[in-house]
Structure 1
Amino acid sequence: MIKVLTYNVHRWVGLDRRTSPERAAAVIAASGARIVALQEVKAGKARMGWQNRAEAVARSLGMTLHFQPTARIFGEQLGLAIMTDLPSRRIKGERLPSVSVDGGISKRSALWIEVDYEGLKIQVINTHLSLRPNERLMQAQTLLGEEWLGHEKCANPVIFMGDFNASPNSRSYRLITESFGDAQLMSRSALARPTFHARMPLVRLDHIFLRGEMMRVTKARPVHSVLTRSASDHLPLLAHIAFNRSIKAGKREA
């Protein structure tokens, strides 16, 4: 069994307006997750003497960092990250199609790595989709296409997670769940709980989607604690995934 987590860290800024990568790191550490997908990660140096915050968080957790920039704000890179303490390699990271003309702050990307879990190759893709419904649908279609999730090398088992900005009644969510299972609905309780806003969660925007018959979800739910209700505007979503190795990996069917 392995725990995976997706978490929009809100540029490390909590609801108390305090910037604290260490607080987000404490949330991740307490979860016990071994594969962590982060969105809105501030990473680069803003001025001489500032350390790379994403690298510092990964190092404090004993994890390898994979980072995909999406924008530059006041000299710092903003982007996606996947952290893991398992053997891993980057497959690709790219911007997703956009119809925006507002410079770059709202540009969206995806990051794909391969993780080796006790000899099992797991494909992990992290993304943060647009707030605009039509643009978000176009980005979801791209990710489901032959360059990403439909690629011949993106064989099962696949974990596709992130901040999708998509509630279950959205077109992009419905499109994704035609070929992927929603971890919260696959769990034993099958009770899906909201992840946004952290202080009073009302909407499910963050998701962990799974493809591959060998995966079984024993638990999947947002992490509620004093810390998570202040560290970001999103709650982290944690899933416990077991693997039935008697089922052959590599099939592309859902």
Structure 2
Amino acid sequence: MAYNIHHCNPPSKPGMIDMAAITHTIGTQNPDLVALQEVDVYTDRSGAYNQAEEIAKKLQMYYYFGKAIDYGGGEYGVAILSKYPLSEEKVYPLPTQPATKGEPRIIATAKVTLPDGLQIRFGSTHLDAQKDSMNRQLQIKQIEAIASSEKLPFVLAGDFNAPPGSTVIRQLDTHFTRTCQDCPPTIPVEHPNKAIDFIAFRPRSKFRIKTHQVISETYASDHLPVIAVIELLP
């Protein structure tokens, strides 16, 4: 699953934090792995909670939080949730042109050991949101450089802030295979018209796509969650 959780703030209720709604949305789909974006840890706006930890605890999952920035007395970034043990957790900073004054972005990765002993690398990322795609282009190229040195099968998920056909997603498609081609839209939650949240993998020969869908959950966040079932081939 890929899910931008909007720091657990339902857009229809400004200032309110509803972790239970996010937890319920994820739990209903029962995913093995989740890439979360816009996660708060001990911030003024969200309270004395590590949101990744709290959600993982309720779902009985392992977790790893990757800080992108300091924010509101705490931290803000992306996270990984997993039913299976995580190791080799790491945060990689992604490039931003200083002149753009773009918010620092990262990719968080971890090695996941599956019940049959097979291992994969799983990554959660959230690319730059500015209208100009300069930073996103730099960031996706950096992610590809990271992935190119990876010996394990690699699953990447997140909010790319770019739709299919854009320069950024065309670049993504040169190194990864997305779980959708005619991708259902993920924003806005009411009458969605643009797909910017994706799940992708490499190498193509190691995976088989079984299903891809966008979940119509319009309360919990300003993004719709994306879930795909992919088979890891031995």
TM-score with structure 1 setting the length? 0.84
Which residue type is aligned with residue 187 of structure 2?
Answer: F
Q: Does structure 2 retain, via aligned residues, the 8 Å contact 1:68–1:80?
A: yes
Q: Does structure 2 retain, via aligned residues, the 8 Å contact 1:66–1:90?
A: no
User: Shift of the alpha carbon at 1:80?
Assistant: 0.5
CA distance in 2, matches of 1:103, 1:53: 27
Q: How does 1:148-163 map to 2 (within 5 A)?
A: 148-151=146-149, 154-163=150-159
CA distance in 2, matches of 1:193, 1:86: 28
- Asked if 1:87 corresponds to 2:89, the answer is no
Q: Which runs of 4+ in 1 moved over 2 A?
A: 44-47, 49-54, 100-104
Which residue type is aligned with residue 51 of structure 1?
Answer: Y
State the match for 1:222 in structure 2: 214
State the match for 2:191 in structure 1: 200
State the match for 1:108 in structure 2: 105
CA distance in 2, matches of 1:9, 1:90: 25
1:102 and 1:142, CA in 2 relative to 1: closer, same or farther beyond 3 A? closer
CA distance in 1, matches of 2:110, 2:74: 23
CA distance in 2, matches of 1:54, 1:140: 24
User: Shift of the alpha carbon at 1:88?
Assistant: 1.3
For residues 146-182 of structure 1, the C-alpha deviation after alignment (integer angstroms, 9 at most, x for no partner) is xx1111xx12421011000011121111011012111
Which residue of 175, 192, 202 maps to 1:211?
202
Which residue of 159, 162, 165 maps to 1:166?
162
Q: Which runs of 5+ in 1 are unaligned?
A: 186-190, 246-254
Which residue type is aligned with residue 190 of structure 2?
Answer: R
1:68 and 1:101, CA in 2 relative to 1: closer, same or farther beyond 3 A? farther
Which residue type is aligned with residue 165 of structure 2?
Answer: N
For residues 54-95 of structure 1, the C-alpha deviation after alignment (integer angstroms, 9 at most, x for no partner) is 211111110111011112222131110001120111342022
Q: Which runs of 5+ in 2 are unaligned?
A: none
For residues 105-156 of structure 1, the C-alpha deviation after alignment (integer angstroms, 9 at most, x for no partner) is x2211101110112111111111001230110001111111xx1111xx124
Q: Does structure 1 retain, via aligned residues, the 8 Å contact 2:52–2:64?
A: no
User: Shift of the alpha carbon at 1:19?
Assistant: 1.5
Q: Does structure 2 retain, via aligned residues, the 8 Å contact 1:156–1:211?
A: no
Q: Does structure 2 retain, via aligned residues, the 8 Å contact 1:58–1:65?
A: yes
1:96 and 1:123, CA in 2 relative to 1: closer, same or farther beyond 3 A? same
CA distance in 2, matches of 1:181, 1:130: 21
CA distance in 1, matches of 2:165, 2:188: 18
What CA RMSD, in Å, does the superposition of the two structures yield over aligned residues? 1.8
Which residue of 11, 15, 20 maps to 1:15?
11
User: Shift of the alpha carbon at 1:46?
Assistant: 3.5
Q: Does structure 2 retain, via aligned residues, the 8 Å contact 1:199–1:230?
A: no
Which residue type is aligned with residue 169 of structure 1?
Answer: G
Which residue type is aligned with residue 125 of structure 1?
Answer: G
